[in-house]
Amino acid sequence: MRTRSSPLAVTMPDPVVITRPQAQAMELQRRVAALGREAIVFPLLEIQSLPDNTQLKETLAELERYALVAFVSPNAIDAAFAARSDWPYDIPLAVVGEGSRQALQRQGVPASTQIFFPADPDRSDSEGLLQALDLDALRGRAVLIVRGESGRELLGDALRAAGAEIVAVAAYRRVAPLLDDARRRQLEALLRRSSDWLITSSEALRNLLDMVAQLNLPDGTATMHRQRLIVPHMRIAETARALGFSRIVQSRSGDDGLIAALQSCS
């Protein structure tokens, strides 16, 4: 007698949790889904416009006085270009990551504009940018840093120590999203599964652990620590380890790097 063989069990890949702000998550969600992975958007940061951007507009009106304009994030680029439409493209620009380079392209910055960026894709941060800049050439000259209301001071402090005149202006604000009932249920459901979490900022990771703590689950934090994190910067990996995570994959910067890391983890 011939017996019917049992079908082989199909193992589905873990879902991927995209934690960028909502507006910036959609393209990455599309690319993750194209890999055949379930892509879940769970923002850990909200980007908000300033209640009053008068200072931003006044500062950008005097761009011609600066030897360099440095942007700390794609959000800074988008807010600055929205505040001044007649951008003078002969002023050198500086960015810290691949996402910011892509944001400049979306804003129509011509290829002829000089753009400084980290040469090492594993150091797409302020430290990497500082290595790419000619600090001696900036001595005694004005440098504008466009940033959020809060953030690291390393870039400004290092340029100031090199003799540059630093002006920093806020272009947006970052806040932790409200953990309302719907997001609470979503986070509880995520903790019941094993997922790959794409974490693109240390602040976002801290917000995540704060949200988990708000759930008041007996083993919530321990369960979160067992999830796998994919992070695009060494600094975020260091933060994750300090916060108790051990399953950490460091990718190259930008969406391409995150996608490549997901493919290698599948």
Domains along the chain? 16-45+177-265 (3.40.50.10090), 48-175 (3.40.50.10090)
Percent of the chain with pLDDT over 90: 77
Interatomic CA distance for residues 143 and 138, integer angstroms: 8
What is the DSSP code string of 30-68? Answer: HHHHHTT--EEE--S-EEE--S--HHHHHHHTTGGG-SE
Query: Which tokens belong to 7?
Result: 């079908």
Task: Look at residue 5 in the predicted model and tell me its pLDDT.
Answer: 46
Query: Which tokens belong to 143?
Result: 């440098």
Interatomic CA distance for residues 171 and 100, integer angstroms: 15
Interatomic CA distance for residues 78 and 81, integer angstroms: 5
Helix (H, G, I), strand (E, B) or coil at 78: helix
Cβ–Cβ < 8 Å for 186, 56: no
213 phi-psi bin (left φ>0, alpha ψ -120 to 50, beta other):
alpha
Look at residue 176 and tell me whether its pLDDT is greater than 60.
yes
Distant-in-sequence, close-in-space partners of 105: CB < 8 Å, separation ≥ 6: none
- Spatial CA neighbour of 137 closest among 170, 107, 159: 159
What single-letter amino acid sits at 264?
S
Q: In the predicted model, what is the mean pLDDT of residues 38-63?
A: 96
Q: Is the pTM of this model over 0.75?
A: yes
Cα Rg of the chain (Å, integer): 21
Q: In the predicted model, what is the mean pLDDT of residues 26-48?
A: 96
- Spatial CA neighbour of 251 closest among 190, 195, 199, 194: 199
Interatomic CA distance for residues 129 and 135, integer angstroms: 11
Task: Look at residue 244 in the predicted model and tell me its pLDDT.
Answer: 97
Query: Residue 193: in which H helix or E strand, if any?
Result: none
- Spatial CA neighbour of 189 closest among 12, 13, 17: 17
Q: In the predicted model, what is the mean pLDDT of residues 196-213?
A: 96
Query: Residue 181: in which H helix or E strand, if any?
Result: helix 181-191
Task: Look at residue 216 in the predicted model and tell me its pLDDT.
Answer: 96
Average pLDDT, the chain: 91
